[in-house]
Amino acid sequence: MPERMRLAFLDVMRGVALIVMVLNHTGHWWIDRQMGWPRYWLVYVTVTVAAPIFLFLVGFVLPVSLHKNAAEMTRPARVWGYVRRGLQIIGAGLLLNVVVFRDEPIYSGGVLQTIGASIIVMALLAPILRLRGGAGALLALALAGYLVFVAAHARIEAWVPQHPVAALIFFFDYAPWPWMCIVLVGLVVGWWWRETAARGPDAVFFVRLAALGGALMALAVAAEWRWPSAPHVGFTRDLGVNNHWIPGPITAVWILGMLFVLLFLFYWLCEVRGWRPPWLIVLGQTALVLYFLHQIIAYTLVKQWLHVSFQSWATFCAANLALVLVCVGLGYGWKAGRTRLRRTPAAAAA
């Protein structure tokens, strides 16, 4: 199967994640607590789906290019390409603070900053995958990194108010530690996928991944049943640093299992059944720029300038549908603009 065809399932998965992230943001910004428990569940469920998908896929897709050129992993020019890409995304995150979140310091952390830093770190760690036992060592590093964070959580919470500037950079929204651990898991799983694909058909790999994911989700349900939180499946069972969400152990197990199952689901739908909705693929291919633009619309324009607050679920859903359609239009426009730009004489010369 051609590489460009195989990646369709990842574009679709990113597109779905973008829609879920839109729902999470509008659930935060467009409705208030008067909407009751449905708002709580909407915000919680979407926050456990959207960002984990994006962060996991950051690591998962890197081996697509790295595995084909494994001998060039340590070449300075190739490493610098990933470093430059990571710095660009970090810059986009800082620009988002300037344009949208003007009430926060420009150096405040965010998911884009964590994604950019993850690309750089994963590119530096990737050569270890070529070593015997290297993938297992990186997987152990990811697990140890998360468990150390859990053990040190109380100390980190005490450290944050004493170091406000450093806390905003390193322990704010989607803090690099421990969120980079899920990116590292994605890097290892992605490498195993490419190793399998290099030897033959990769369908069995995703079936086994789904079986493991189902087992992890069942384990999370059993753990919640044995050590219930109040309410069930909510923020109270998770960790928080600097007033931002970080999944606790039970939620982390659930998220990992969910990611494995979703990978299989989208692989089966797109690569086995041939389901490739163009609009959803466009959302996935332009997810980075749409992540930036939809927040300008949802937060700056609708919340801050227009002061819109929905009191009806029907109007809230209709507004979200309209926002998704706007994102689809922006995605098509962005792709068309980039294509036209590449055809200019100056771009061709470059």
Whether the pLDDT of residue 346 is over 70: the answer is no
What's the average model confidence in pLDDT over 87-92? Answer: 94
3 state SS of 172: coil
Given a contact cutoff of 8 angstroms between Cβ atoms, the answer to whether 108 and 169 are in contact is: yes
CA separation for the pair 313, 336 (Å, rounded): 35
Handedness of CA 241, 216, 273, 45 (dihedral sign): negative
Whether the pLDDT of residue 1 is over 70: the answer is no
Neighbours of 254 (CB within 10 A): 24
Judged by average pLDDT, the poorest of 7-16, 119-128, 150-159, 336-345 is: 336-345
pLDDT band for 70, please (50, 70, 90 cuts): low
CA separation for the pair 12, 20 (Å, rounded): 13
Residues 162-182: tens digit of each pLDDT: 999 999 999 999 999 999 999
Residues 240-266: tens digit of each pLDDT: 898 899 999 999 999 999 999 999 999
Residues 276-330: tens digit of each pLDDT: 999 999 999 999 999 999 999 999 999 999 998 898 899 999 999 999 999 999 9
pLDDT band for 232, please (50, 70, 90 cuts): confident
CA separation for the pair 241, 75 (Å, rounded): 38
Whether the pLDDT of residue 5 is over 80: the answer is no
Neighbours of 85 (CB within 10 A): 15
- Greater pLDDT, 313 or 32: 313
pLDDT for 2 equals 42
Whether the pLDDT of residue 34 is over 90: the answer is no
Given a contact cutoff of 8 angstroms between Cβ atoms, the answer to whether 44 and 234 are in contact is: yes
pLDDT band for 4, please (50, 70, 90 cuts): very low
pTM for the whole structure: 0.91
Rg (CA), the chain: 20
Cα torsion at 130, 134, 135, 138 (round to 10°)? -130
- Greater pLDDT, 198 or 116: 116
Whether the pLDDT of residue 235 is over 70: the answer is yes
Given a contact cutoff of 8 angstroms between Cβ atoms, the answer to whether 66 and 192 are in contact is: no
Neighbours of 109 (CB within 10 A): 26
pLDDT band for 201, please (50, 70, 90 cuts): confident
Hey, which residues does 239 pair with through a beta bridge? 246
Neighbours of 66 (CB within 10 A): 23
pLDDT for 125 equals 93
Amino acid identity for residue 33 in this structure: R
pLDDT for 7 equals 82
pLDDT band for 3, please (50, 70, 90 cuts): very low
pLDDT for 338 equals 81
pLDDT for 343 equals 66
- Torsions phi, psi for 102 (to 5 deg): -70, -15
Closest CA to 83 of 126, 146, 51, 139: 126
Closest CA to 295 of 332, 327, 336: 327
CA separation for the pair 24, 294 (Å, rounded): 12
Given a contact cutoff of 8 angstroms between Cβ atoms, the answer to whether 245 and 179 are in contact is: no
Task: Tally DSSP H helices, then E strands, for the chain.
Answer: 16, 2
CA separation for the pair 280, 11 (Å, rounded): 8
Closest CA to 255 of 220, 205, 291: 220
pLDDT for 71 equals 60
